Amino acid sequence: MCPPPEDRSSRLADVPGPQPDEFSPEERTLLLRLAHEAIAATFERGAISLVPPSPHLAEPRGVFTTLYYRGELRGCVGYVLPVAPLYRVVAESARGAAFDDSRFSPVSREEARELQVSLSVLSQPQPIHSEQVEIGRHGLLISLGPYRGLLLPQVPVEHGWDRVTFLEQTCKKAGLPLNAWQAGAKIEAFTAEVFSDPK
């Protein structure tokens, strides 16, 4: 099934997203610290203070929290859509990445001390035609029926994928045939501002 003509006329510039350095160094540090505190508090069965740190960080945003342990992926959980204030979603996704990512066993207390956190703050996904996808700029969300797969903008860069491979791998993530992006699946793109703990 081909998309209707109006979908073909959309432009890359129509995919809104965070501008470079939307978040100040202080805001980045605060959000990264919040992610670590949310993970640490789980071991103590305690709660962290979730008072809005600023109006900017209280805006609803989608975000993914990715955890690394000694350079290896240790968990990644997030929210595509802006369903809650950013600071709350950071805390929730950090806990989810540490303890609820089904690909990994829960993070241990010892591992938690060495985790590196990377945050990807997302723009609202927008429909896009396949040839408009830009490696390094866009993340992808591909869906068909009950199946949905998402890959962040940094994934194809890390793996050296071209545009077609990126589309195919997002289909694979959704549990769809690799060519589903050519056979009626909905393609949406988003941008992300990514920042991490110092190495």
The pLDDT confidence band at residue 21, using thresholds 50, 70 and 90, is confident
Domain boundary among 122, 145, 171: 122
For residue 169, give the CATH number of its domain. Answer: 3.30.1490.150
Q: Would residue 19 count as lying in a domain? A: no
Task: Pick the closest to residue 84 from 54, 62, 106, 114 (CA basis).
Answer: 62
> In angstroms, rounded to a whole number, what is the distance separating the alpha carbons of residues 95 and 1?
40
Q: Is the dihedral of CA 80, 76, 94, 46 positive or negative?
A: positive
pLDDT at 46: 66
Q: Which of the residue ranges 25-29, 49-53, 69-73, 101-105 would you say has the lowest mean pLDDT?
A: 49-53
Q: Would residue 8 count as lying in a domain? A: no
The pLDDT confidence band at residue 132, using thresholds 50, 70 and 90, is very high
Domain carrying residue 186: 125-190
Residues 30 and 103 in one domain: yes
For residue 39, give the CATH number of its domain. Answer: 3.30.700.20
Query: To which H or E segment does residue 143 belong?
Result: strand 139-144
Indicate the number of domains in the chain: 2
Residues 111 and 66 in one domain: yes
Q: Would residue 199 count as lying in a domain? A: no
Q: Would residue 145 count as lying in a domain? A: yes
For the residues of 148-175, what is the DSSP string, one character each?
Answer: EEEE-THHHHHHT--HHHHHHHHHHHTT
